[in-house]
Copies of this chain bind each other. A is one copy, B any other.
């Protein structure tokens, strides 16, 4: 039998304190300092230009939370912390706090959490408002979160019997998915669609990856922009979940109409099981959409299959993309 305890409740109520602590640690680049200063608090404090007292309390807290180990008054990074939270690590993911723990997000969730539950979605357009500046933050912050997934996907696409020549990247954001495909498929041309300010970030990333000559942008709403036809591959990464089923079907039909013969659309999505409570991250994402959009959701494979059929696709399948919590949904 379960041990009856209020611990989970109290821990959950105080969840925002964890957010604050990790946000402070990232802002101070604390984990890099711990590595460089051999876990010595006085030296760490000097490096991050903070009070020793503040640093030691924060390090103790982060030890309790599992980010650090402490022995003989020195702090050590766990392997996960070293991998994902030190500046010199290629997998460093620190920047995601700039989006996931942005003040806009705190406001969206904490100002009136009853409102989005009562209303069955965000009271206003929230994140799907045209030109919402949160997407610039997203584009700048979330690259390390998606990069491994994008690289894995590009590798798969590069091994197709006929790799795609013309690629449309809808709601490209940082552009990383399209850019990785441009890198993996020599000669492939990418058209990226997003809000104008967001595309500036994608263009920077395309330039840094050396694919600018094969990278074109189209500013505007995915529902309004005329992107033409003849695409071998259309990318819909982290986009469909923002909308209701009818809107997704409408967009998928538009996508289907723009495909070249034999072309296909790939969505990268949080896809829960039919029970909607597993796997945990994908299932929990449904509440992210409830808080942040009027009608968005984490759709199941069955639901995506129905949307695909309603949009005229012959075949839809979803497969997990480990180690990410996301799945690849293929419409063909």
Q: Is the CB of B27 within 8 A of A114?
A: yes
Q: Taking A8-B66, A19-B14, A287-B17 as contacts, is the C-beta distance between A24 and B113 under 8 angstroms? A: yes
From known contacts A50-B117, A54-B118, A286-B60, infer whether A16 and B80 are also in contact, taking CB-CB under 8 Å: no
Please, how many angstroms separate the alpha-carbon atoms of A311 and B318 in the complex? 68
Whether the pair A276, B19 counts as a contact (CB closer than 8 A) is: no
Q: Are A18 and B15 in contact (CB-based, < 8 A)?
A: yes
B16 touches A116 (CB 8 A): no
Q: Are A9 and B22 in contact (CB under 8 A)?
A: yes
**A214 neighbours in B (Cβ, 8 Å):** none
Instruction: With a 10 A CB-CB cut-off, give which of A51, A52, A119, A290 has the most chain B CB atoms.
Output: A290
Q: Which residues of B contact A67 (CB under 8 A)?
A: 8-9, 12
A29 vs chain B, min Cβ distance (A): 11
State A12–B93 Cα separation when bound (angstroms): 13
Determine whether the beta carbon of B323 is less than 8 Å from that of A8: no
| Distance in angstroms between the alpha carbons of A22 and B114 in the assembled complex | 10
- In the docked arrangement, what's the CA distance between A101 and B11, Å? 11
Whole-angstrom CA separation of A35 from B10 in the bound complex:
21
**Contact pick for A110, options B14, B51, B106, B281, CB 8 Å:** B106
- Give the top 4 A-B pairs by smallest Cβ distance, nearest first: A51-B120, A15-B15, A15-B18, A53-B120
